[in-house]
Structure 1
Amino acid sequence: MSNSVGVVIVAAGRGTRMGTAESKQYLLLQDKPIVVHTLEVFQQHELISEIVLVTGEEDVDRCREWIAVYKLDKVTAVVPGGSERQHSVYKGLQKLRTTWVMVHDGVRPFVRPEDIAACYQRARQIGASVLAVPVKDTIKQVDGAGTVVSTPDRRSLWAIQTPQTFRLSELKGAYERAERDGYVGTDDSSLAERAGITVSVVEGSYSNIKITTPEDLDFAEFTGRTRGEGL
């Protein structure tokens, strides 16, 4: 099992930008909850042996029902998350028994199977990997007064996506170190970098969007139709 790969799908957030009473991960996309689309990508991937879904405490029961209805038999646990994303991921990590782990956002249903495979291969080579895309726009660093301080070279800037892939024991160690130090990072790789783990970027796709606003949902419907795969 030295090459076994598990996934923690994080769907515990209660995003407010969607402007709906329902959490974004449970909104319907082509008549199916967004999080189910995301789970299906990993369910169908030959590399993946285990999936742990982390969700809000009040959503655990309906998620378990969907797992049964959609026959997502790689899902070995549905666990309630914590107050921060970081705490939610750590709770998910505790439930995995694989050597490697991918952490993925529940609201990124368009991740491509080949990108999942590429992330895993790069992590095996380097130690850890993150899916990302080059930044298209010119980025300005701005101070508190709104004044431009600098213009970083766009060629060095990448927009980070998920999945992010690590050796499970190393990511757990990075999380435990962050907890001891009272450090809260913006993503899993920031904790890994802080723990001295080398993280490599794998170029992904601009279609691997995180659905957080009504406009994203419109784009997701369009993407699902134009792919012609029925998702």
Structure 2
Amino acid sequence: MLLGQIEAPWLILHDAVHPFVTPELTRAVLDAARQDGAAIASVPVARFFYDTEGRLRAAPNEVLQTQKPMAFQREGLARGFELLDAGQALEPTHERGALELLAMAGVRPRFVRGQARNIKITPLEDLELARALLGRDRPP
């Protein structure tokens, strides 16, 4: 496993689909992780959530949407993988993998206030929003 080849005590997870992340947010996440063992950028969701039966599940600002970057101690993630390999934990999903592995190891991340502009570009509509954020109406 690649994690076993990493010697750095701290890891920062980021991806290219969050192109508007700022150095300030990255520093804030890393500083929080150094204090608490792990941290991730997030923004409150300003919407109501209902289940399919019409029951309110979350009011505005009760739910967080995570963003990148996230930072954590390599040791915490390695411990989560050990527990997973030992069959002591459920297999993490692709989307929540790192947070679930850290939770398995008893590491609870601090949620650092993210930035509205730090969008994740996935479907084509997100690319249109990214162009608007860059001040472009059309692709170059």
Report TM bin, short chain: 0.7 to 0.9
What is the match of residue 83 of structure 2? 177
- The letter for the 2-side match of 1:157 is V
Other structure's SS at 2:49 match = coil
CA–CA distance in structure 2, aligned partners of residues 95 and 208 of structure 1: 30
What is the match of residue 212 of structure 1? 122
CA–CA distance in structure 2, aligned partners of residues 202 and 161 of structure 1: 10
Q: Which of 35, 38, 41 is the matching residue for 1:128? A: 38
Other structure's SS at 2:58 match = coil
- Aligned-residue Cα RMSD (Å) equals 1.9
Q: Which of 4, 7, 12 is the matching residue for 1:102? A: 12
- The letter for the 2-side match of 1:189 is L
Question: Which is bigger in relative contact order (C-alpha 8 A, separation at least 6)?
Answer: 2
CA–CA distance in structure 2, aligned partners of residues 131 and 97 of structure 1: 24
What is the match of residue 154 of structure 1? 60
CA positional deviation for 1:129: 0.4
What is the match of residue 100 of structure 2? 190
The answer to whether 1:221 aligns with 2:131 is yes
- The letter for the 2-side match of 1:114 is E
Q: Which of 89, 103, 113 is the matching residue for 2:23? A: 113
For the Cα contact (< 8 Å) 1:105–1:210, is it kept in 2? Answer: no
CA deviations on 1:157-189 (whole Å, 9 max, x unpaired) are 110111111111211221232243351233211
Which consecutive unaligned segments of at least 5 residues does structure 2 have? none
CA–CA distance in structure 2, aligned partners of residues 136 and 179 of structure 1: 38
Fraction of identical pairs, as percent:
29
Paired residues in the alignment total 132
TM-score (norm 1): 0.52
Which consecutive unaligned segments of at least 5 residues does structure 1 have? 1-89, 227-231
